[in-house]
Structure 1
Amino acid sequence: MSKPIVAIVGRPNVGKSTLFNVLAGERISIVQDTPGVTRDRIYADCTWLDMSYTLIDTGGIEPDSKDIILSQMREQAEIAIATADVIIFITDVRQGLVDADSKVADMLRKSGKPVVLVVNKVDNFDKFMPDVYEFYNLGIGDPIPVSAASRLGIGDMLDEVSKYFPNSSKEEEEDERPRIAIVGKPNVGKSSIVNRLVGENRVIVSDVAGTTRDAIDTTVRYNKKEYVFIDTAGLRRKNKIKEEIERYSIIRAVTAVERADVVLVVIDASEGVTEQDAKIAGIAHERGKGVLIVVNKWDLVEKNDKTMKEHTNKIREVLSFMPYAEILFISAETGQRTGKLYEYIDMIMENQTLRVQTGVLNEIMTEAVAMQQPPSDKGKRLKLYYITEVSVKPPTFVIFVNDKELMHFSYTRYIENKIREAFGFRGTSLKFIIRERKEKDQ
């Protein structure tokens, strides 16, 4: 089930990053071994009441001249319009309403996307309310007064934002067709791969996306099965600096991965695997999706009998946080091995939804514990009582133990490896939840 995406747009110094940090909380120290995630916080997983959503920061603006600020704000607005379900447009009560705000408001209004207008730095409601009313002139709804720095009004703002969250989960859950996102850096050949996969099999190009997003999903029938490909090509960017393009491709990847079951991470064989590839793959890993690393342009690489092994080792090294990911070397240009893509997608989907009987899991666990004693601390030894699989996409297991603190990451990894030895689970991450049960609960 995909989470709604909320994007923040606003001029320099109106408090965008303060708001982002308040909403994201300090929980950004996401899985430490996923590269690039903590350094540049482009997105964060947030919750409000019982709803979770993904928050996106559309990009900083370099305060230079009015013209540059406006063009950069337009760019932010474009990114937000293209990717978000709801847009938070943040303004500053102390600077008042400025021309750039009005121009961006026009763009947002025309997009038809839900916009929540937020007026920041209102740390005294009585004093500033007359100034807040001025923002009604933007014509995009009621201005909501907040103070991000003092955390005032945040709840009211989120109540308003969450009204627009789509109820698309029901539609998506009923739709059993595999959803595939093809992600990667610019120019690695994503569209050629889409064209190969889609080929003559394109059933319909739905212009009306299932949700409010602008992504156009393509439905393909192959071997009597239907697949949905999520378009991530998005807006073409000319003459943009590298950082912006990178930031943009990450935002696109987050929004596509969110809705996919299987993610094809495309790497350029002639360039080899890069840190940017690791960042994009890390998004799929964090979200527990099925992953296939597609090494494209394999026809351009000079080869001997060791080339593929060397490339595989390098990819495994850079993407060491996802040893389960499958790797396929192809050339979209010549069609080499592209026919295998569907086989891999099917296999990964099968593993993403594989359910293992509780009895079998407990046998594996008992045997694993017998082979390698659980860790102990200050004379207290970890006991594993029971394991069961509670959900799929990704396969999620709950292990009941006597003391959560004793269940080290490395021992969980050991149990995971034993389960993988038995069932493979190739191409999908596995999730483990550790719960405590006191001796007397037995």
Structure 2
Amino acid sequence: EGLTDADRDVAVLLRKTKKPIVLAVNKCDNNEVENTYEFYALGLGEPFVISSEHSKGVGDLLDKVVSYFDGLDDEVDDKSKIKIAIVGRPNAGKSSITNKILGQERVVVSNVAGTTRDAIDTPFVFDGKECVLIDTAGIRRKRGIELESVESYSVLRSMEAIRRADVVVVVFDASEGFNEQDVRIAGYVHEQGKPSVIVVNKWDLIEKDQHTINVYEEKLKEQLKFMDYYISVYVSALSGQRLNKIIPACLTAYENASKRTSTSILNEILQDAIAIAQPPSKYGKRLKLFFISQSGTNPPTYTIQANDSKLVHFSYQRYLENCLRRNLKLEGTPIKIIFKDKKDED
């Protein structure tokens, strides 16, 4: 179409903003540079020749755009703030929970699954602690998502939100029961080593008696037995029931994930555990554990010196993990135990 009056009007408005401006001339499928000369009249700098249909010149355009990001302060990525991601299947009530927690209509809520298309970060303060709540797009099974569709990119953004979060809230829909996709999402959170809170939403739609919540909790434990450290909260985003327990549960999980324990206390726990159940033997050789220390946080990571780390059986590692959890109260967070041969430390 060439340069139009509308282009000139937009250029006038943009110059008034005093912000960096990048000019792109689209639909140059054959790299017709000569068709862009008239756009210099806009006074917006050198135009980038692109073809969005054929993905030509887009890389250079993005490089130019990103070059203006260096000097910006990204408050949301401030490491002093606790980032809480809310994830789950489509239409589980994630956005409704987000709005109720924030006390404002921050994200669009609809009964139509897939309303939220991007991860939305909202800073807030709870009990004097600065936090960021990240509402995400619903995560469906891969085979139900069209490749390179808007939904596929939305799911990638949701996965990225899990990776950058300090705590992850996984929302289940009580009215539909637990299914494989719920477990997959929780499993991904576990694989990323994130503290987690399981929120069972729409609890108001369940017919209940005095045993109902115990029955659901047993089902939950069975489905998520690979991550039995989670904190569970049963809520109704519609009525607001127990929503006030979600953020305190998140902060508890985060504090436990950030906890440091002195080496002396850890070795007391280790010696008590060995006294109760001796380490296993293999090929006629018994495992010996000499020393334990904490080597990291988020999640808590413990390094144990052993005579031969190959002798460690999964069941004994699990036993030691349970001993640490019982003594250190590590509710809501995964923990990692690393076994190193003593000679590796010498």
TM value normalised by structure 2: 0.72
Match of 1:265 among 151, 166, 170: 170
Which residue number corresponds to residue 127 of structure 2?
223
Which residue number corresponds to residue 333 of structure 1?
238
| 1:105-158 Cα deviation digits (max 9, x unpaired) | 169559x6569xxxxxxxxxxxxxxxxxxxxxxxxxxxxxxxxxxxxxxxxxxx
Change in Cα spacing, 1:173 to 1:398, as seen in structure 2 (3 Å) is: farther
Distance 2:84 2:57 in 1: 31
Give the aligned residue type for 1:105.
Answer: S
Structure 2: 5+ residue stretches without partners: 1-50, 65-69, 107-117
Q: Which runs of 4+ in 1 moved over 3 A?
A: 106-110, 112-115, 170-174, 240-250, 438-441
Residue 233 (structure 2) pairs with residue 233 (structure 1): no
Q: Do 2:137 and 2:158's aligned partners in 1 also have CA atoms closer than 8 Å?
A: no
Give the aligned residue type for 2:212.
Answer: T
Q: Do 1:201 and 1:220's aligned partners in 2 also have CA atoms closer than 8 Å?
A: no
Aligned-pair identity (%): 46
Residue 265 (structure 2) pairs with residue 377 (structure 1): no
Q: Secondary structure at the match of 2:302?
A: strand
Give the aligned residue type for 1:218.
Answer: T
Map 1:10-409 onto structure 2 (within 5 A).
Answer: 103=53, 105=55, 113=62, 175-200=79-104, 215-233=119-137, 242-244=144-146, 250-409=155-314
Give the aligned residue type for 1:361.
Answer: L
Which residue number corresponds to residue 432 of structure 1?
337
Q: Do 1:290 and 1:348's aligned partners in 2 also have CA atoms closer than 8 Å?
A: yes
Q: Do 2:121 and 2:134's aligned partners in 1 also have CA atoms closer than 8 Å?
A: yes
Q: Secondary structure at the match of 1:413?
A: helix
Distance 1:217 1:200 in 2: 14
Question: How far off is 1:437 after superposition?
Answer: 1.1
Q: Secondary structure at the match of 2:217?
A: helix
Which residue number corresponds to residue 206 of structure 1?
none
TM value normalised by structure 1: 0.57
Aligned residues: 277
Structure showing greater radius of gyration is: 2
Distance 1:371 1:383 in 2: 14
Distance 2:63 2:329 in 1: 44
Q: Do 1:401 and 1:434's aligned partners in 2 also have CA atoms closer than 8 Å?
A: yes
| 1:212-256 Cα deviation digits (max 9, x unpaired) | xx7441001222222101231389x9xx98344996665343211
Q: Secondary structure at the match of 1:309?
A: helix
Structure 1: 5+ residue stretches without partners: 1-100, 116-165, 203-213
